[in-house]
Amino acid sequence: MTDAITAAPKAPIDWSTIVRRLLKPVVFTISCLPVLWLGWLALNNGLGANPIEKLIRYNGDWALRFLLIGLAVTPIRLVTGWTEIARVRRMLGLFAFFYVCLHLSAYVGLDRFFDWRAIWADILKRVYITVGMGAFLTLIPLAITSTAGMVKRMGAKNWRRMHRVIYFTTIAAIIHYIMMLKAGYQEPALYGAILAVLLAIRAVKKWP
């Protein structure tokens, strides 16, 4: 007599657990792609006729994009109900700071060769650099307090209140971009429109 062999039912795939485990590594890898591409361009003479300007502009563009991507996390969560996305918000903010540092380093080290007198003169004379430096300074305390330990020390409420300065930082970054240009304002105008939509979603969804 042959015993009937009953196959055990397969356990359903826990997609939420898979997404939770992969979310941070995937976002980290994607966030590194712009600087990896920049490195490839540098190694293959792809930075154009003015490589210093290319480095400054390229990193500045990506810094602003990451500021907007970081600000998009909460609206996406509010609209879709996908709470897991909040796990990458601080990472995106740190990548924004990373690209800002690359942007500033290219200006200080390659464009001005660490001539601090010339840099200070630029800050005083050129308003777009004044605004840009101001935006950078507001990012420093946000980067320093981005760890989970600092959230606990400050308290979540105080931490959130302090990090709301990122709205003004992003506005200042867009103004810095607009003032830097002599023509072709389409891209900063697009960034400004994206920021306006993100802030509007926050306001509508959180309105009592």
- Tokens 């990373």 correspond to what residue? 98
- Tokens 């359903």 correspond to what residue? 12
**CA dist., res. 17 & res. 196, Å (int):** 34
Among 173, 70, 61, smallest CA distance to 106 is for 61
Residue pair 181/188 in contact by the 8 Å Cβ criterion: yes
**CA dist., res. 76 & res. 73, Å (int):** 5
Tokens representing 126 are: 């050129």
Among 203, 188, 164, 178, smallest CA distance to 70 is for 164
Residue pair 63/173 in contact by the 8 Å Cβ criterion: yes
Confidence of residue 139 (pLDDT cuts 50, 70, 90): very high
Residue pair 88/73 in contact by the 8 Å Cβ criterion: yes
pLDDT per residue over 140-183, tens digit each?
999 999 988 998 999 989 998 999 999 999 999 999 999 999 88
pLDDT per residue over 53-105, tens digit each?
999 999 999 999 999 999 999 999 999 999 999 999 999 999 999 999 999 99
